[in-house]
Amino acid sequence: MANWAELPIDLITEIAKRVKVIEDFIAFGAVCTSWRTAAPKLNFDVLSPQVPLLLLGAKDDDYREFYSLSKKKLSLIYLPEARGQECLPSEGWLCTVANNTGEMNLLHPFSRIKTQLPSRKDLLSFHGFDYLERQREGKRWHCIDKAILSANPSLTSDYALLVHYYAGGSCLAFWRPRDLNWTEIDVVTDGGVCNMIFCKGQFYSVSYRGEVWVYDIAGPSIAQPSVQTRLLAELEDDMFKLPSVQFYLVELSGALLLVTRYVILVVCVLSKGWRLKQV
């Protein structure tokens, strides 16, 4: 049997360029030194369609598990930069938030390229909260739970990052490359932000009351960060405002859809009392 490691480097490079699935490309580069040399990130077509990988929960080590929906298997990726971090995925990148310091970054899980963001402490300063004091008190209600990119930072520097966080209420802020700090967005609705999406050049959010808001954020070419906010739609039927209803914004074939999910509670009468079962 031929020694695959001794194939001409030009031939190995041509093979690497024809690998279209990101997890296969990573496995290709892990075969040996010569194959890894032929598989730098520049040889991977970042525009090739990818079935999303699911990032599983963190463990106390330097590895993260990704589940491939297409291959139905787990991949273990060495990612020490994400240890002790909350990870919020968007456009193939991770918005990481350090649990102990509040440091934030944009991290690519495979190339491990990292872009530093203003910290969570800067977000809390909008509301007069001291981050370290809150950490000592053990109060975690100021968590960041959503992060949406307008574009893939691997392809362009013309993008914005929108984050949703809690600081005594539901809050929004955005950041663009070269911005020195976050820019706060006035959240008009008192229903809280349920879901967010970027679609056709604008950010959208839906509240727990069924209000759809649109945010037109100025691009990085405009030095002064600004945003225009307006109410796009509102559900008037009270059946959509029940606590058991969840809202999602989904793009399908270029159309923006508002999807509702109902949580049904089934009450079972048992000899020892009542029991609620969520379906």
Q: Exposed (0-12), middle (13-18) or buried (19+): which is 190, by Cβ within 10 Å? A: exposed
Identify how many contiguous H helices and E strands the chain contains and give both numbers.
5, 19
Residue 155 tokens, joined: 């392809």
Give the residue from 206, 234, 205 showing the smallest Cα distance to 217.
205
- Check residue 105 and give its pLDDT: 96
Name 275's bridge partners: 268
Residue type, 99: N
- Check residue 137 and give its pLDDT: 54
- C-alpha dihedral (165, 226, 125, 180), degrees to nearest 10: 110
- Check residue 262 and give its pLDDT: 79
* Average pLDDT by stretches of 10, the chain with 279 residues: 71 81 76 78 67 79 85 84 91 90 91 91 76 51 85 91 88 92 84 90 91 88 84 77 80 88 58 45
DSSP code string of 78-131: E-GGGTTEEEEEETTEEEEEETTT--EEEE-TTT--EEEE--HHHHHHTTT--H
- Check residue 57 and give its pLDDT: 80
Separation between Cα atoms, residue 30 and residue 38, nearest integer Å: 11
pTM across the whole model: 0.77
